Each structure stands twice: as structure tokens, then as C-alpha cells.
Amino acid sequence: MTPKDYRAMADQCFRWVHEAKTIDERRAYLKLGRAWLEAAFAEDDPPPNMPPASRLPSVQAERENMH
């Protein structure tokens, strides 16, 4: 797999976050998506700058959108 493939998998996980029925599902998809992004970044040469954590999807932001 290439970094592009890893990013596609991460994108899919982040889409699933919005479809998840429970907070535990959301957390699991976020964790998996971040792992795919980390794999992509690890394979990049040279690695790009990681966006600040505040720009990554968060469970807290999802929770606020639900209310």
C-alpha cells in the first residue's frame, strides 16, 4: 500500500465517524483513522508537517454537534 492508500483508508474511517451510532464507535473509528494517517506519514519521504491536533477530528467536537 502507498501513503495515498493509507490516506484513503483514513478518510473512510473519518466518514464512518459521522455514521456511528455510539460514542464508542466514534472513538474506535477516530483511533483507526489516526492510525492510518500515522502510517501514511511514516511512509512519506520527506514526511509532511502533521496538522495540529486541534485540526484533527475529535470525539468532543462530534459530541457537541449531536446536541
| Side-chain-facing half-sphere of 46: CA atoms under 13 Å | 1
Percentage of the chain exceeding pLDDT 90: 58
Alpha-carbon span 67 to 62, nearest angstrom: 9
**Which has the closest alpha carbon to 38: 66, 1, 3?**
3
Please tell me the total count of domains within the chain: 1
Mean pLDDT (the chain) is: 82
Contacts of 21 (CB under 8 A, 6+ apart): none
Contacts of 41 (CB under 8 A, 6+ apart): 3, 47, 48, 50
User: How confident is the model over 4-26, as a mean pLDDT?
Assistant: 95
Comparing 50 with 10, the larger pLDDT belongs to 10
Question: Which residue range(s) make up the domain with 22?
Answer: 3-66
Q: Is 60 exceeded by the pLDDT of residue 58?
A: yes
pLDDT for the residue numbered 43: 86
pLDDT for the residue numbered 41: 87
